[in-house]
Structure 1
Amino acid sequence: MRCVIEKCCNKAVLIVGDCKYCGGQYCLIHRLPESHHCTGLETCRKVHFERNCDKIMSEKITPPIVR
């Protein structure tokens, strides 16, 4: 199976080449949503932004109260 990018002749990579946002199968060069101009890029950004925000907020350190 080949990468679905029109002028790309590289083989699609199993597992890491499958885009879960648009469903396309891509080679190593085009596997990232930014590299293949994914139609689900905005959804991808939103999901990862929320995940990172939750992680950062859970690791937030508050200073001790001095009395």
Structure 2
Amino acid sequence: MPPRRIKCSFDECKAAAQRFSGDCTFCDGHYCNNHRLLEDHKCRNLDDCKKEAFEQNAMQLNKERTQVIRGV
């Protein structure tokens, strides 16, 4: 038997969910190509996502910061 197609978790959408790019790790939903972005499916954890991305970017910038060597 072929695997069952998963429908989009967005209300009123009957399209099939994308296998890998349609999975939202913040709300555990499965979305079609039109609703796969957090803003498109109005993810309830959008603020957490933005906060996590900000923290990752800040950590990366601190890691790449140039250090001044004094007394050389």
* TM-score over 0.5 (shorter chain): yes
2:36 aligned with 1:16 = no
| Percent of pairs with identical residues | 34
Which runs of no fewer than 5 residues in structure 1 stay unpaired? Answer: none
User: How many angstroms apart in 1 are the aligned matches of 2:50 and 2:22?
Assistant: 18
Deviation at 1:66, TM superposition (A): 6.8
Which runs of no fewer than 5 residues in structure 2 stay unpaired? Answer: 1-5
Name the SS of the counterpart of 1:7 in structure 2. Answer: coil
Q: Which residue of 1 aligns with 2:38?
A: 33
Letter in 2 for 1:10: A
User: How many angstroms apart in 1 are the aligned matches of 2:67 and 2:13?
Assistant: 51
The runs of 4+ residues in structure 1 deviating greater than 6 Å are: none
The size of the alignment, in residue pairs, is 67
CA RMSD of aligned residues (A): 1.7
2:66 aligned with 1:61 = yes
